[in-house]
Amino acid sequence: MGGLVIIAIASIRLFHLDLKPYWNDEVYTLLRLSGATKLEIYQSLGPRIHHLGELAHYQWLQQSTGFQELVNGLILDDVHPPLYFALAWLTVKTFPGSDLTLRWLSVVLSIALIPMVYGLSQELWRSRAVSYVATLLFTASPIFTLYAQEARPYPLLCLLNVGSSWLLLSLIKHPRKGGWFAYAGLSTLGLYCHTLYYLTLASQCVFIQALNFYHLITPERRIRRQQLIAIGAAIGGFVPWLIYVLWVQQTQGQGLSIILGANYTWNPFPMGLVLEKLWLSLTTTIYDFVHPYKTVVLSAIDFNPELFGNLPPLAWGHWSTMAIITIGIIVAIAYTLKSSPLTPALFLVSLALPFCVFMAKDFLIEGYATSIIRYHLPTVLIIYLSLAYGIGQWSQSTVPWQKFMAIAIAMVIIQTEVWSTVVSVQTPTWWNRAEDYTLPAVFTAIKQIPNPMLLVDDDPRLMVRLLILGHHLNLPFQLINPEKLNEAIAQGQNQGYENFLFFKASSGMKAQLSQVSMGQLTAIEVQQDCFHLDLRL
């Protein structure tokens, strides 16, 4: 019966995969399949008028795109480790013909993670009750369901993270040579999957060091030595990629560039707002909902006082629910750390290391990476595992009221998760897409404008933004220098256009627009710097 419940909840991941438009990060994934770079798209366009439909072939695997073209494009654009993109390339090669293939890949990886969470919790506590509750909480998680429906590497990263952690816990109890080879292999794959895996290896090293400090592993087992050898082998296996990256970039006249995190995570934010973003994001592990205030606060990548100053406040019901959830999470973690055997407790503490690193960066330097929940998906497991341990322990109590409370709390949490998940999968946009949560509204507004022409800054970095629009619109567009705005408008008028659109307009473009004396200029969407110039008025 329990397995059927888990399957039923997991199936929510399969619904409405096509409802939400592809956003910036997903479009980047699709661009990688084409083997092209943003600069190549830019160089192919030139100054004449084009249509967005001409860019469609940059959003799918081309017949001529081999694996080397994919990897080289990955290196020359924004360097990411290649494992996920290689798997995406192989998946599309094997199952061509659907725009949703890569989202299906994420769903499959996310579902594969479910039994891994059961295995991890079973390795920690050897309790079927705790493992079952942990699996239920993870399966119903609104956060993991969100990222299960995106064409991005986070489900694969979590799969490798949980898999290597489970294996490491097993090796502590039963060291074996084949197991260390497997651990080295998983660690290598993790490094090839995402740069965040560096922090996973660091946290696992801290965990083993803590076990040694508390004499929970005997010296004759040589666990620390074997782990360091395995991690050294993983790093050695990753070095060829770094060498190849350096060689490709140098031969193309670029300097060495390795992505360690999105640049916008360094944007300065008031610390109070960073803490609010953090609170809103962490409580979405259980309770997620639609509200303009939450959406704007979590999606903002720049601090705009005007934007934040005009938001409707959250209702007290949302605040109180978030407060109750926060208190419950804190109590569950404290109870688990106090009551659990020391090895599982130290493991949970070690999972928090990546989060602490980002917090130190934000508080000591600047930025808000702490509040970006996708960076902390492995750390989020602390919440589910701690809640599961408390509920699982109480559910086996001989005291009737404790058993009743455990069942009641579990039902409330899981129902809240399922409600949040069902709401999010049925909504055409969500806060986790940063500023692109506004895309459906932008598309709707643009479709109501008769015969528009799109004028875009002459900037290679905006090619992904054009690809995003091209998924839903086939507008005529032209790349222009902002200083030649009047000339471009006159050229468009000569071809019969009286409505001009501007998307992701630069400060220079906005300055030129403010000086246009004809027509009426209105803002379609401030966060997208999207404007409409109507020359009919």
Report the pLDDT averaged over residues 407-422: 97
pLDDT digits (tens, 9 = 90+) for 89-117: 999 989 887 778 999 999 999 999 999 99
Looking at the predicted structure, is the pLDDT value of residue 533 above 90?
Answer: yes
pLDDT digits (tens, 9 = 90+) for 501-510: 999 999 999 9
Instruction: Tell whether 497 is covered by a domain.
Output: yes
Looking at the predicted structure, is the pLDDT value of residue 258 above 60?
Answer: no
CA torsion, ordered 274, 280, 284, 285, to nearest 10 deg = 50
Q: What SS3 state is found at 315?
A: coil
pLDDT digits (tens, 9 = 90+) for 320-375: 999 999 999 999 999 999 999 999 999 999 999 999 999 999 999 888 998 999 99
How confident is the model at residue 310, as a pLDDT? 78
Report the pLDDT averaged over residues 198-227: 91
Instruction: Tell whether 273 is covered by a domain.
Output: no
How sure is the predictor about 66, in pLDDT bands with cuts at 50, 70 and 90?
confident
Instruction: Tell whether 302 is covered by a domain.
Output: no
Burial class (CB in 10 A: 0-12, 13-18, 19+), 272: exposed
Mean pLDDT score of the chain? 92
Instruction: Name all contacts of 322-329 with Cβ < 8 Å and 24+ positions apart.
Output: 322/279, 322/280, 322/283, 322/287, 325/283, 325/286, 325/287, 326/279, 326/282, 326/283, 328/387, 328/409, 328/413, 329/282, 329/285, 329/286, 329/383, 329/386, 329/387
How sure is the predictor about 266, in pLDDT bands with cuts at 50, 70 and 90?
confident
Sign of CA dihedral 315, 312, 275, 528: positive
pLDDT digits (tens, 9 = 90+) for 67-76: 888 898 888 8
Instruction: Tell whether 258 is covered by a domain.
Output: no
Instruction: Show the domain range for 477.
Output: 435-534
Instruction: Tell whether 516 is covered by a domain.
Output: yes
CA-based R_g, the chain, Å: 25
Looking at the predicted structure, is the pLDDT value of residue 407 above 60?
Answer: yes
Q: How many domains would you assign to the chain?
A: 1
Instruction: Tell whether 505 is covered by a domain.
Output: yes
Looking at the predicted structure, is the pLDDT value of residue 25 above 80?
Answer: yes
Instruction: Tell whether 358 is covered by a domain.
Output: no
How confident is the model at residue 517, as a pLDDT? 83
Instruction: Tell whether 508 is covered by a domain.
Output: yes
Q: How much of the chain exceeds pLDDT 70, in percent?
A: 97
How confident is the model at residue 63, as a pLDDT? 63
Integer Cα distance of 425 and 290 in angstroms: 12
